[in-house]
Amino acid sequence: MQDNRLVCQKGGVDLPRIIIAGTHSGVGKTTLTLGVILALRKRGINVQAFKAGPDYIDPAYHTKGSGKICANLDSWLLSKDALRELFKRRAKEADITVIEGVMGLYDGLKDTELGSTGHLAKILDCPVILIVDGRSLSRSAAATALGYKEFDKEVDIAGIILNNIAGASHYSYIKAAIERRTKIPVLGYLPRDPGLKLPERHLGLIPIEEKRLDIVFYQKLLKLVRDNINLTRLLEIAMRARPFFYNKEKIFTPHLLPPRNLSLEGAGFKSSYPKNRVTIAVAKDEAFNFYYQDNLDILSHLGANIIAFSPLRDRELPNGIDGLYIGGGFPELFASALSKNKSLKRSIYQGAEEGLPIYAECGGLMYLVKYLIDFKKRKFPMVGIFDASVKMADRLRALGYVNIEVCKDNILSKKGVNIKAHVFHWSYLDRFSRKENFAYRVNKDKGKIFFDGLTRWNTLASYSHLHFGSNPGSAKKFIGVCNGYKKIALR
């Protein structure tokens, strides 16, 4: 786009950027964001995508669309300094940054702005493009837009895109009303088209690892965006974003930065401190694919060689590993195949028994217990490190941010440490032994306390999802435990 996009201005850096927000969940943020990314790339523009909030599925779509890893930005899980550092680290390599918001523009933790798209926009000093659903509306859409503009005047709503529009006439009525009453430019629209809806199920969109969108969908979405949205005006809004100011790196300190374009699949990183270099296997396939990319990058930055393996297809753990990381996903939908892979389950159990450090989150916990009971009440044997069963419920069992008080030393943290986390699951522990030890005392809402974090040997498995950018000490401790295991294994 421009050769001088990183011009320093009184300590700031030029980082063209926009946030695509919505009036509410389901307004079409992911589809429209993906369409804008595709259209900008078609123009030869290097796009970096981000997703606001604790989401694993939407970023995979934007990674596919942009050709660059889409990371998360969460203003509740992460401090302002951490947010700005993680944003700048990726944004500086692109011509423009496009961020998809979360929920409605002002929806945060309870009745606060914390974790909201609006809060993120203020932290990053980022113009907002607001999506308004025009279905069954005409002039009333202006009232909606005006309310969002006036609600928090520190949020710069710089443009509006309409969704679910019946046709050109419908669009012209709404556009005129909004621009007359709000003075915010309407940049275009997407028509009402059921074929543009991305596939969903109980945890949201179906991960792209399972259901890859066909070329027809991409071509259709690309054409609609190019035909109906003023991309030149959108780019002008992104370009006028004020210079971005940031503090010195605290997470990715310069002397330890990994090579660029580090990817999960088979990527290796030679640490500046070879004695601390360890190899960590990460479960990555259709059943397990919920990871914050920054978590993997932070581990790599600290000296880990990250290699991928598949619990669905690989018969044994990779040779020579010093740690294992099993993230979230949908093991309940692949329970039969996971159960039948007895040799890998045996390999994981034996590794755990020998002290291999294993960290598992949500879906990973479900895989490490004795039995998984799916939606149809079918019972499947899993790895069996923990004498417990996990059962799928007929409704969502937990959703939202939580505060963790560590009540027992474990492979990620010492007793007494406080950690911010996120939970989102339909399953629950059922018929587990009282002998199982919990590492976490979790406070979700005032008065709602529960325990999480099963521990045994050097294994920690919890429903809570952590972001290492919030607490880099957890990543450092995990690397340290892996290094300790490596030294014992080498004797």
pLDDT at 394 exceeding the cut of 90: no
Give percent above pLDDT 90 in the chain. Answer: 65
- Binned at pLDDT 50, 70 and 90, residue 61 comes out as confident
Q: Which residue has the higher pLDDT, 92 or 391?
A: 92
Distance of CA 390 to the CA centre of its chain: 24
Residue 255 confidence (pLDDT): 55
pLDDT at 235 exceeding the cut of 70: yes
- Binned at pLDDT 50, 70 and 90, residue 261 comes out as very low
pLDDT at 489 exceeding the cut of 80: no
- Binned at pLDDT 50, 70 and 90, residue 447 comes out as low
Calpha distance 238→231 (Å, rounded) = 10
Least confident span in 365-379, 388-402, 421-435 = 421-435
Tens of pLDDT along 338-356? Answer: 999 999 999 999 999 999 9
Tens of pLDDT along 146-187? Answer: 999 999 999 999 999 999 999 999 999 999 999 999 999 999
The contacts of residue 184 (CB under 8 Å, 6+ apart) are 130, 145, 149, 157, 158, 159, 160, 178
Residue 215 confidence (pLDDT): 78
Q: Please state whether the predicted TM-score (pTM) of the whole model is above 0.85.
A: yes
SS3 assignment, position 192: coil
Calpha distance 177→161 (Å, rounded) = 13
CB-based contact 455:438 (threshold 8 Å) = yes
Token digits of residue 31: 């589809």
* Average pLDDT for 262-284: 58
CB-based contact 364:326 (threshold 8 Å) = yes
pLDDT at 265 exceeding the cut of 70: no
What the chain holds in terms of domains, given with CATH numbers, is 8-239 (3.40.50.300), 258-490 (3.40.50.880)
Q: Which of 70, 126, 362, 482 is catalytic?
A: 362
Tens of pLDDT along 102-149? Answer: 999 999 988 899 999 999 999 999 999 999 999 988 899 999 999 999
Calpha distance 373→366 (Å, rounded) = 10
Calpha distance 456→386 (Å, rounded) = 7
* Average pLDDT for 229-238: 97
CA distance between the termini of the chain:
55
pLDDT at 313 exceeding the cut of 50: yes
Residue 262 confidence (pLDDT): 37
Give percent above pLDDT 70 in the chain. Answer: 86
CB-based contact 373:391 (threshold 8 Å) = yes
* Average pLDDT for 293-307: 94
Tens of pLDDT along 69-102? Answer: 999 999 999 999 999 999 999 999 999 999 999 9
Residue 448 confidence (pLDDT): 79
Exposed / middle / buried, residue 275 (Cβ in 10 Å: 0-12, 13-18, 19+):
exposed
Distance of CA 331 to the CA centre of its chain: 18
Residue 271 confidence (pLDDT): 38
Least confident span in 194-198, 325-329, 460-464 = 194-198
Q: Which residue has the tokens 């991305």?
A: 198
Is 126 assigned a catalytic role? Answer: no
Q: Which residue has the higher pLDDT, 276 or 244?
A: 244
- Binned at pLDDT 50, 70 and 90, residue 427 comes out as confident
Residue 424 confidence (pLDDT): 82
pLDDT at 477 exceeding the cut of 80: yes
